[in-house]
Chain A
Amino acid sequence: MAGSITIFLDKCNGCTLCVEACPFDAIHIANKKAVIDMAKCTFCGACVESCEFNAIELKEDACVKQDLSRYKDVWVFCEQKKGVIQSISFELLGEGRKLADKLGVKLCAVLLGSAVESRIAELSERGAEKIYFVDHPALAAFQDDPYTEVLVKLAQEYAPEIILCGATTIGRSLVSRVAVRINAGLTADCTGLDIDEKERLLLQTRPAFGGNIMATIITPNHRPQMATVRHKVMKEAATDKSRTAEVIRKSYPEEVMKSRTRLAGIVAEIEETVNLAEADIVVSGGRGLGGPENFAMIRELAKTLNAAVGASRAAVDADWIPYSHQVGQTGKTVCPKLYIACGISGQIQHLIGMQSSKVIVAINKDPDAPIFKIATYGIIGDLFQVVPALTKEFKRVLNR
């Protein structure tokens, strides 16, 4: 936590090493001595390490130093919908395995649901050594209150060191509540995780400002360290059918399962079977399509590739396709293996939502379209010719 940071003026010679080391631009030199702007300082200690003259002292408040040693193990909250474990959970088990090995602790899965006993084996095959399992009708589908209560109770009783969760609609709603309840640190939408082995800290790297900058975030004095992780960034855990896990079945009194909100219905709306966030390939259309009927061409290519259909804001705002397909700042962020942008110029708001895709293909008639600046492969041309030609060629080569 915070505390105090002091510069010993007799030792400081104004060398500026600390000014350069400060990640927050909080130090300047005045009268040949370092001065810290307390409004900017986060007590990160980077300056203390950089100073060659022992002129900076960081004192942490003793009262907030907690005993963190009782917290151990890496937990993965495994999201299920209609009894099906979501693929993000397998990605988290893959990443969680690396973290648990570095820390020398167990990788554990948390599974909440109703009549999902049969799914336990999948989680052990993916490498979970321990599975915390709560089965109750109130947990059949996600509802904020009972899911929060149960996860809070589990975390309080079994004290995990780390909890990972998908940065999904459910995940982001759930763990935001849990983190406040158990006074834990939570970092959203991570794209990189690692362990500082000396301090046993989870290093959480995430994009901010729409991916224009990256930040690495730690939770020094609170446990568990909680993070939501983006789809498709981590590699799925491999399956090994010989593995079995210890299953810890918990049941809780009815009041824990109470929900103030009531789930009245679940409606599937996306016409394609592929979920945009989970898709390996996304084919997107923009203003260049000229009208809603021309999305048929995009859908045809998407179908050929088992891809999801995306859209730019311009196409959504023109009511050519529902908002649930919108990729970009006010829509969804995707990072598929392949993103094919058809008739999308590449405004910054769109790029924010797809620029971390592994391969980007841009098809646009305007050679100056900004999308070409980030595209792996660009085709300057008429999409009404190029897209059908691509579909035809993919069908031929892939036998689809």
Chain B
Amino acid sequence: MHIIVCIKQVPNTTDVRIDPLTNTLIREGVESVINPFDAYAIEEAVRLKERLGGKVTVLTMGPPQAESALREAVSLGCDEAVLLSDRKFAGSDTWATSYTLAAAIRKIGAFDVILCGKQASDGDTAQVGPGISTHLDIPQVTYVKKIAEISADKALVERMTEEGYDTVETPLPCLLTVVKEINTPRLPSLKGMMRAKSVKITKWTADDIGAEPESLGLDGSPTRVIKIFTPEPRKGGELLKGDTADVAAELVELLKDIAA
């Protein structure tokens, strides 16, 4: 079985700080990490390989430094790694990003399952996974919390919903986006860390993946960001003090209109 995992390197949210003077995001010194949801996709891919045999290819699009995210994925059990990096990709929205990743997947060749995290923690769109499956014209199941059964030609998965979950059967090849509940990612193994250091990362540019230039980067992106601003930071309010019964009565008085 050939499993492809698409990951994104994102700024570590726990490091995100706001400059109190300029009210803007402080980007300096912010560590880059694998998007938290993608860690579950990597783990699930490695588990599928362990169950069914085969290999895992990890794919990312990003600046040259995204290579470190790929090496980390290899340390966690991925076999091959592909980095898509080209200035022509700059400014891609989710349309162009999914187009580019789909083009790279076509070049990688035959696959059985594509795994993605349900969304990235910087953009939070959840649009790239479904975009890839649409460009490749393959079935998808989003928000997968369990792969209950999988064979060479189909899978039975559980898809998280607002009320519970759906069980969905999908033929392979397919694309699945996964949520946290699907597994608990392992730590890198010593062997994995050794491999991560020496593994050769395949690096492709726009020309390598045979992409249409007008579908890449800003040209291929229907949306434009026209303004970025920092929301008014939320301020702490009132501390209620006193003995428990008084405090409870005071709070209920304050909230009773909302609660009614």
A36-84 at interface with B (beta carbon < 8 Å): 39-40, 42-44, 46, 81
Query: For the complex, is A210 an interface residue (Cβ under 8 Å from B)?
Result: yes
**Chain B residues within an 8 Å CB radius of A176:** 94, 126-127, 129-131, 134
User: For residue A142, which residue of chain B has the nearest CB?
Assistant: B166
> Do residues A264 and B169 form an inter-chain contact, with CB atoms below 8 A?
yes
Quick check: A267 and B255 within 8 Å, CB to CB? no
**Residues of B close to A217: CB separation below 8 A:** 223-226
Q: How far is the CA of A333 from the CA of B130 in the complex (A)?
A: 20
Partner of B142, one of A169, A280, A393: A169
Quick check: which of B48-56, B116-124, B204-212 contacts chain A, the rest being far away? B116-124
Residues of A within 8 Å of B249, CB to CB, are: 393
Chain B: interface size category: 35 or more
Chain A residue with Cβ nearest B231: A214
Chain B stretch 239-259: residues in CB contact (< 8 A) with chain A = 239-241, 244-245, 247-249, 251-256, 258-259
Question: Residue B65 at the A interface, CB < 8 A?
Answer: no
Partner of B36, one of A184, A275, A330: A330
Residue B141, interface by CB 8 Å? yes
A207–B169 CB distance below 8 A: no
Query: What residues of chain B lie closer than 8 Å to A349, measured between beta carbons?
Result: 13-14
**A214 to B230, Cβ gap below 8 A?**
yes
Binds B, one of A124-132, A284-292, A375-383: A375-383
Contact indicator B255/A180 (Cβ below 8 Å): no
Contact (A42, B225) CB under 8 Å given A169-B161, A180-B134, A188-B125:
yes
- Residues of chain B with a CB closer than 8 A to A40's CB: 90
In angstroms, how far is the closest chain B Cβ from the Cβ of A316? 8
Contacts of A352 in B (CB 8 A): 13
CB atoms of B222 and A372 under 8 A apart: no
A213 at the interface (CB under 8 A from B): yes
Q: Which of A258-315 contact B (CB under 8 A)?
A: 260-270, 275-278, 280-281, 305
Across-interface contacts of B133 in A (CB, < 8 A): 177
Residues of chain A in range 225-279 having any CB-CB distance to chain B below 8 Å: 260-270, 275-278
Determine the chain A residues whose CB is within 8 A of the CB of B218 once the complex forms: 1-2, 42-43
Q: A2-B218, A177-B133 are in contact. Are A375 and B237 (CB under 8 A)?
A: yes
Chain A residue numbers with a CB within 8 Å of B90 are 39-40
CA distance A24 to B235 in the complex (A): 28
Interface residues of B in 97-137 (CB under 8 A from A): 98-99, 121-127, 129-131, 133-135
Closest-by-CB residue of A relative to B164 is A269
- Expressed in whole angstroms, the Cα–Cα distance for A380 and B236 within the complex equals 13
Q: Is B11 an interface residue (CB 8 A)?
A: yes
Residues of B near A211 (CB, < 8 A) are 231
Q: Is B162 an interface residue (CB 8 A)?
A: yes
Is A359 part of the contact surface with B, judged by Cβ < 8 Å?
yes
Chain B residues 10 to 62 lying within 8 A of chain A, measured CB to CB, are 11, 13-14, 16, 18, 24-25, 36-37
What CA separation (Å) do A148 and B241 show in the bound complex? Answer: 55
Bound-state CA distance A276–B240 (Å) is 27
Q: Are A270 and B230 in contact (CB under 8 A)?
A: no
Contact with B145, one of A208, A213, A270, A323 (Cβ below 8 angstroms): A323
Whether A329 and B258, one on each chain, are in contact in the complex, defined by CB atoms closer than 8 angstroms, is no
Please, how many angstroms separate the alpha-carbon atoms of A385 and B48 in the complex? 48
Q: Is the CB of B234 within 8 A of A261?
A: no
In the complex, the answer to whether A374 meets B163 with C-beta atoms within 8 Å is no
Residue pairs across A and B with Cβ atoms less than 8 A apart, 29 shown, are: A23-B226, A23-B228, A42-B224, A46-B226, A141-B166, A173-B130, A173-B142, A176-B131, A177-B140, A183-B95, A189-B124, A208-B122, A208-B124, A209-B13, A209-B16, A209-B121, A264-B156, A270-B163, A305-B259, A329-B36, A329-B121, A348-B14, A373-B235, A377-B237, A377-B254, A380-B239, A381-B247, A393-B251, A397-B253
* A169-B142, A214-B228 given; 9 more Cβ-contact pairs under 8 Å: A23-B228, A44-B225, A144-B140, A172-B127, A188-B126, A217-B224, A222-B222, A323-B145, A398-B260
The 4 A-B pairs with the shortest beta carbon distances in the complex, nearest first, are: A185-B222, A269-B164, A176-B130, A188-B125
Residues of chain A whose beta carbon lies under 8 Å from any beta carbon of chain B: 1-2, 23-24, 39-40, 42-44, 46, 81, 141, 144-145, 148, 168-170, 172-173, 176-177, 179-181, 183-189, 203, 207-222, 260-270, 275-278, 280-281, 305, 322-324, 326, 329-331, 333, 337-338, 347-349, 352, 355, 358-359, 361, 372-381, 385-386, 389-390, 392-394, 397-398
